[in-house]
Structure formats: C-alpha cells, structure tokens
C-alpha cells in the first residue's frame, strides 16, 4: 500500500497552524459528528494490512473502537461481500479518531452530500484501512458526517459583529419543532477567531439521556457546527441555554414537540416549512367540522373531520383516525402523502400519478374514475369488528407531487364531493 501524508502542518509567518490530511483541513473535521466502524474479513491476507496490532497495543486503543471491533465479530451471520462481512459502527470522539488518523495510513474518500430541501452542498469524509489483531482482520475507519443533509429546515444562529465591531448573536433565541420540520441548529462562526460554545442541558425528571447534547464545542473561524437535539419522552418544551466565550454571549434554543392534535393553521405552518402543502376540503357534509391534524412524518399528515355523535363516541381524537370502526361510524379522514418530500425533495423523483393509480386499480372492490382531471380509485374496505363484517369507502386521488386518501363510511358520492373541494 502506498503511504499517504497524514496530518501535516503549514505555518505562515503570522498565521496559526493549519492541520491537513491529504488537503483536508483539521478545522473542517473537528465540528463534524464522527462514527467509527469495524468490518471483519472472511480471511486474513497479511499483505494488505495497514498495521497488525500487537498484544500490547490492543489495550491502548480507544474503548469505542474496541467496542465496535468486538460487536462486529460477536455474531457473524451475514454472507461476506468481496471478502468482508457485515460490520458495526458507533459514535467516537474526534480526539480519539484524530489520534489514530495521525498514527496510521488511512485512505480517505470525499463524498458530496447535497441537501435538496435547503439547496446546500456539503462533504462527507470516509477514512478506512485494514488492520489485524490476534484473531481477525478488519476494515476499520471513520465517517465524518455532513453538517447539512438533515432532510428538514435548518435554523441558523450566526455569531458575528455589528458595524461597530461588537460581537453579537443573530437569532439569539430559536425554537425547534421536531418531527422533521426544523430540528437542527447550525451555529455559524462569522468572527475572525475561534469561539467555544458551552451548552447547559436542562434537568428533566427521570434524567433521560435523550435530552442531553454535547456540552462543549470549539468552532473555528468561518466554520459551522450542527446540533439536532431530540425530545422523546415529554410533550413539554425543553430549553437549552448556551454561553459563547471569549465573547461572553448567551442564548437559548427550545425544543418543542409537534402538537399531537394540530389545528388547521398549525398543520399549514409546520408543513410549509418543508415545502409540503396539504389541501383542505372546502366541503364536508352538514354537521361535520375539522377536529384534528395528526403528524405521521414531515410528508404524511392525517386530517380528521368529526360530527357531534363521533365526539361522544370517540374520546381519543388522535388515534381514532387509525380505526376502521371510526370510518364505518361515519368518521372522515383526509390523508395526504407527498411523494416528492418522501424522496428527500429530489428532482429525480420518478413518481408517476397515472402509474400509481394503475397499481391500486386491481385492488378488490376498486373502481377507477377521474376527479378534477386527476386519476382516482374508489375502494371498498372490509373488516371484522364486534362479531360482524363491516366496511367503509376509501377514495384515492393522485396528483403530481403526491396522493390523497379520503376514508369514511359515508356514501361514495360524499367522498367524491369532498375530493372535488380540496383547495
């Protein structure tokens, strides 16, 4: 194997050291999330080794790397691919990764990561080499993730200066809505020197580790750091406080769960952030009104319409729209699925509404029709409940960017009128 140049140092007369690895700046790696991987080989071929670990060296390897090496060989169940089995990966600290990159001759591959929603290009870095210990040969390495390819809107916090040269934070207090809407903060250092960000995680009952985030990060000048905090266990807002030194600046970011039962305006506001625009019917039968918008993903939403009898019979407004008996009793759900967003906002989406309609047309008890010049399929759904077979109607309408399902036990003509009024 041809040796490559590891971290080199270029120093100008008045410049700070710039560390590079095959032209990749240390500053471009340090704020990226890095994972380490281990892929065991089906046979040992010593001539391809970067290095063979001695018995004395193995204990000194980073614990995270040793863990993935152990996990990758714990149960080798899958067939080998070109001499290698399935591997295992986990997060590792940049400090531990850097020590190994400085010591051994890894090959590096740069891959373009394009976020089609935010129209941003970034790079992922893949380092790998083949190592051997006293039992196995492995392909070991590190993946440095993109800052931007999150498939959700990004919220920028810029650390910059006023016209008078005073350091300030633009977008000092931000709110994040989970569910794929805008759950990632990009801290952007626009100052001429490095900054260090200290984050205080909130105290949550039960001490759930899901709330915690990296509490310290030094961001080089002109670079960014992305953070995607999550909220899995409470509907309460979670507020993170942060301090930036040496500029002595403070701010917050608040993590909000998407509302379990959204109003029409909440549906429109949240989904528009990811360029998904579900239509609402202007017509529903007399006595019905909008009850609840239920988020499935950031490209899939359920809109429930109820009358007073349904409100008496079904107390759980969120889960009712998943029950066939709710539809059989006259409940209405308008369900929107955006194929464009489901394919990560890519212009290469090969979804075809006519093809999609044809795929559903052979469904038992299906009838094809056209609604507002769009292909559609009416389907009779049967299910067994309370000791008897029941049914409801499902109308599927296919448009250029996605499709609608309208489900209800109401007559077919009512579902068609609802579909014709979507706007």
Spatial separation of the C-alpha atoms in residues 212 and 378, rounded to whole Å: 48
Position 272 scores a pLDDT of 95
Kindly list the structural domains of the chain, giving each domain's residue range(s) and its CATH number in brackets, ordered by start. 7-144 (no CATH), 154-256 (2.60.40.420), 264-420 (3.40.1000.10)
Instruction: Using DSSP, state whether 220 is helix, strand or coil.
Output: coil
pLDDT, position 386: 87
- 17-25's contacts with Cβ under 8 Å and 24+ in sequence apart are 21/101, 21/108, 22/108, 24/108, 24/110, 24/125
CB 337 within 8 A of CB 397: no
pLDDT value at residue 1 = 36
Torsions phi, psi for 253 (to 5 deg): -135, 135
Distances from the Cα of 2 to the Cα of 22, 23, 49, 102, 129, angstroms: 13, 17, 11, 16, 12
Give the per-residue pLDDT at 206: 56
**Spatial CA neighbour of 94 closest among 156, 45, 29, 49:** 29
* pLDDT at res. 350: 80
What pLDDT does residue 231 have? 65
- The per-residue pLDDT string of the chain (423 residues; one tens digit each, 9 = 90 and over) reads 333 334 443 433 334 445 567 788 889 999 999 999 999 999 999 999 999 999 999 999 999 999 999 999 998 878 888 899 999 999 999 999 999 999 999 999 999 999 999 999 999 999 999 999 999 999 999 999 999 988 899 999 999 999 999 999 999 999 998 888 998 999 999 999 999 999 987 766 655 444 456 688 999 999 999 998 876 666 778 889 999 999 999 999 998 888 889 999 999 999 999 999 999 999 999 999 999 999 999 999 999 999 999 999 999 999 999 999 999 999 999 999 999 999 999 877 788 999 999 999 888 889 999 999 999 999 999 999 888 999 999 999 999 999 999 999 999 999 999 999 999
Nearest to 5 by CA among 13, 15, 17, 19: 19
């Amino acid at each position: 194997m041809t040796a490559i140049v590891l971290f080199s140092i270029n120093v100008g007369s008045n410049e700070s050291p710039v560390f590079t690895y095959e032209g990749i700046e240390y500053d471009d790696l340090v704020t990226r999330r890095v994972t380490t991987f281990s892929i065991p080989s089906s046979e040992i071929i010593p001539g391809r080794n970067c290095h063979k670990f001695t018995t004395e060296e193995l204990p000194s390897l980073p614990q995270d790397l040793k863990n993935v090496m152990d996990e990758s060989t714990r149960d080798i169940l899958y067939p080998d691919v070109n001499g290698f089995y399935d591997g295992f990966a986990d997060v590792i600290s940049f400090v531990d990764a850097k020590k190994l990159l400085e010591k051994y001759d890894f090959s590096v591959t740069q891959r373009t990561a394009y976020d089609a929603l935010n129209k941003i290009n970034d790079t992922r870095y893949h380092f790998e080499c083949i190592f051997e210990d006293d039992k196995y040969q492995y392909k070991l390495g590190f993946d440095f993730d993109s800052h931007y390819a999150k498939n959700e809107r990004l919220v920028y916090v810029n650390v910059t200066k006023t016209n008078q040269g005073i350091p300030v934070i633009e977008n000092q207090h931000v709110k994040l809505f989970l569910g794929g809407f805008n759950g990632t903060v990009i801290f952007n250092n626009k100052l001429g020197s490095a900054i260090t960000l200290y984050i205080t995680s909130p105290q949550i009952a039960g001490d759930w580790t899901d709330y915690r985030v990296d509490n310290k990060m030094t961001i080089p000048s002109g670079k960014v750091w992305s953070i995607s905090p999550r909220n899995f266990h409470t509907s309460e807002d979670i507020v993170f406080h942060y301090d930036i030194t040496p500029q002595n600046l403070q701010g917050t970011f608040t993590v909000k769960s998407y509302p379990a039962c959204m109003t029409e305006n909440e549906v429109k506001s949240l989904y528009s952030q990811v360029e998904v625009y579900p239509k609402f019917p202007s017509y529903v039968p007399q006595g019905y009104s909008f009850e609840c918008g239920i988020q499935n993903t950031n490209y899939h939403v359920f809109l429930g319409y109820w009358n007073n009898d349904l409100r008496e019979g079904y107390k759980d407004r969120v889960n009712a729209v998943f029950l066939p008996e709710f539809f059989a009793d006259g409940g209405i759900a308008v369900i929107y699925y955006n194929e464009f967003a489901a394919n990560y906002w890519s212009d290469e989406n090969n979804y075809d509404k006519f093809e999609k309609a044809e795929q559903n047309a052979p469904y038992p008890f299906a009838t094809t029709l056209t609604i507002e010049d769009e292909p559609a399929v009416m389907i009779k759904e049967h299910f067994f409940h309370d000791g008897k077979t029941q049914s409801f109607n499902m109308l599927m309408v296919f448009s250029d960017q996605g499709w609608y399902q309208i489900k209800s036990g109401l007559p077919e003509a009512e579902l068609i009128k609802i579909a014709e009024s979507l706007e």
